[in-house]
């Protein structure tokens, strides 16, 4: 097992389960990042709670329908794409949350700098922070779906392996949205080469999504997502269905409401 995986496992084992869910005010880097994010998208129809990450580097947006607070319901956890903001991600998701038994958690996993790997949380950091938050909120295993768009999708595969093999199995569905599994990316290579076992996705359920007009078809488009679907199955996953939108490009999942609605309806109808 590689050093970075061992470090993650140690962090995971030391994480306390009885953390109070009350959010603390943002400060420092997280505050600066949030202020910038609010300039990118102004949320007028939806008012999320802003929750700092445990390491103080960033923040989550957490929203649930007022009528459902304190009651059991399902959750979407979303990872935005390259150079993205959680505020814009929530804005894109918000029309699909109406009249559904759903809350949403958007992680700001880009630090607002450049496009290098170190400008983002790693999949191991993502799962650490998500796990700590979901524990604090009392979200039960199987009650959430994890969606990643573009670069968020490319990082989804290691996050999924962590949740299935070393974590709490919070996610009963993974949605790989326009970002294929890149096997030369070290976290995904760790999955592919057996660092999480021979079949790390055994029992997991997936939806893949792509647009036929995606300009980066071999990385994010339908050829990439078909290869990814086959790879997921090889590692034990069930691919519930593949969305291939012939009229859309990058971002087809949300740009065509039929696609996002289909995935959310399937998630709510098919509890694990």
**pLDDT tens digits for range 177-192:** 999 999 999 999 999 9
Closest CA to 74 of 130, 7, 140, 157: 140
Task: For residue 40, tell me if it sits in a domain.
Answer: yes
Structure-token pair, residue 166: 């070393």
* Rounded average pLDDT over 61-65: 96
41, 88 in Cβ contact below 8 A? yes
- Per-residue pLDDT tens for 202-221? 999 999 999 999 999 999 99
- Per-residue pLDDT tens for 107-130? 999 999 999 999 999 999 999 999
Confidence of residue 23 (pLDDT cuts 50, 70, 90): low
CATH code at position 172: 3.40.50.1820
Task: For residue 18, tell me if it sits in a domain.
Answer: no
* Rounded average pLDDT over 65-81: 93
Task: For residue 129, tell me if it sits in a domain.
Answer: yes
169, 131 in Cβ contact below 8 A? no
Task: For residue 61, tell me if it sits in a domain.
Answer: yes
What is the domain count for the chain? Answer: 1
Using a 10 angstrom Cβ sphere, with 0-12 exposed, 13-18 middle and 19 or more buried, the burial of residue 260 is buried
Task: For residue 181, tell me if it sits in a domain.
Answer: yes
8, 131 in Cβ contact below 8 A? no
Task: For residue 15, tell me if it sits in a domain.
Answer: no
Phi and psi of 170, rounded to 5°? -65, -30
What is the extent of the structural domain holding 119?
3-8+23-269
User: When comparing pLDDT for 92 and 17, which is higher?
Assistant: 92
Task: For residue 17, tell me if it sits in a domain.
Answer: no
Task: For residue 211, tell me if it sits in a domain.
Answer: yes
pTM of the model: 0.91
Confidence of residue 6 (pLDDT cuts 50, 70, 90): very low
- Residue 70: the pLDDT is 85
- Per-residue pLDDT tens for 131-176? 999 999 999 999 999 999 999 999 999 999 999 999 999 999 999 9
Output the CA angle 52-57-59, nearest 5 degrees: 30
């Amino acid at each position: 097992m590689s050093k970075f995986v061992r470090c993650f496992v140690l962090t995971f084992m030391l994480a306390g389960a009885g953390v109070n869910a009350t959010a603390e005010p943002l400060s420092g880097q997280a505050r600066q990042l949030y202020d910038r994010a609010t300039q990118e998208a102004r949320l007028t129809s939806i008012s999320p709670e802003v929750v700092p990450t445990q390491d103080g580097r960033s923040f989550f947006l957490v929203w649930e329908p007022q009528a459902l607070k304190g009651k059991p319901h399902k959750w979407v956890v979303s990872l935005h794409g390259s150079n993205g903001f959680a505020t814009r991600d929530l804005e894109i998701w918000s029309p699909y949350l109406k009249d559904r038994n759903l809350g949403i958690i958007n992680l700001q996993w880009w630090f607002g700098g450049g496009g290098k790997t170190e400008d983002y949380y790693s999949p191991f950091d993502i799962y650490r922070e998500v796990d700590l938050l979901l524990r604090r909120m009392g979200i039960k295993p199987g009650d959430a779906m994890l969606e990643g768009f573009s670069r968020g999708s490319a990082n989804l595969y290691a996050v999924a392996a962590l949740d299935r093999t070393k974590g709490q199995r919070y996610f009963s569905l993974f949605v790989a949205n326009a970002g294929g599994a890149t096997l030369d990316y070290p976290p995904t290579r760790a999955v592919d080469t057996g660092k999480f076992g021979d079949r790390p996705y055994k029992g997991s359920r997936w939806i893949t999504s792509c647009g036929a007009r995606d300009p980066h078809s071999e990385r994010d488009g339908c050829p990439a997502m078909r290869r990814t679907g086959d790879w997921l199955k090889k590692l034990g996953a069930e691919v519930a269905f593949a969305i291939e939108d012939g009229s859309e490009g990058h971002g087809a999942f949300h740009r065509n409401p039929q696609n996002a609605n289909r995935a959310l309806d399937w998630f709510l109808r098919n509890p694990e």
